[in-house]
Amino acid sequence: MQQRKTKRNNILIVIGTLLIFLSTSYLIFNHFNNERLKQSENDKIEEFFEVEEEEIEEIGEEPIEEKKEEKQEINYDYIAVLEIPKINLKRGLVSTDSKYNNVNYNIKIVDGSLMPYVRNGNLILAGHNGSAYISFFRNLYKLDINDSVYVYFDGIRYEYKIADIYDVDKTGTVNISRDKNRTTITLITCKKYSKDKQTVFIGYLNNKEPY
């Protein structure tokens, strides 16, 4: 009887040790995988700015065949970069016809959005809130009125200032309340600690300059 009890305890210890090992291995793998994804994202953003600089420098010059080939090899996907310094967010944006323009992959440019150069237009961006790697808007709740949001697009850095923050019911559509006589950026994500609310951040163009 005692031997059977001892054997059972030994089996439980082995199983417990194995579960701890597997859990620890998963956490370590997940951490390093997220770090790898972050580094890959940083590299793509750096490529975005390098490509933009090359295009600006080549304006008015005869195209060089060798440089054309180099650009084709880059196969660059980002059309813009969103930066919010207060929450340490810097993320590339893809075109609306890309399969990666989806909150399950990236920050989404919502259909009907207008890019920053359109006067009085509204660039609407949506992203997940949570603890997953794709939850790029997890810290939006930290934003306050007058915080800066930047969009880098076509050689211009557009600076917006947050002017309004409000919650709406999660119904599948969002009522955007803004001044239609001002160039706007709208950020949308799920409200923190809520399953049936979304938070909307409205920002208005404050400044723009070449970068």
DSSP secondary structure string, 96-160?
A: TTSTT-STTTS-EE-TT---TTSTT-EEEEE---SSSTT-TTTTGGG--TT-EEEEEETTEEEEE
**72 and 93 share one domain:** no
Rounded to the nearest 5°, which phi and psi values hold at 108?
-95, 135
- 58 and 122 share a domain? no
Query: Could you give the CA distance from residue 87 to residue 38 in angstroms, rounded to a whole number?
Result: 15
- pTM for the complete prediction? 0.69
Picking from 41, 128, 56, the residue whose alpha carbon sits closest to that of residue 92 is 41
Do 100 and 152 lie in one domain? The reply is: yes
Give residue 113's domain range: 78-210
Summarize pLDDT for 72-102 with one digit per residue, the tens.
Answer: 333 348 999 999 999 999 999 999 999 999 9
Do 90 and 50 share a structural domain? no
Each residue's pLDDT tens digit, 107-128:
999 999 999 999 999 999 999 9
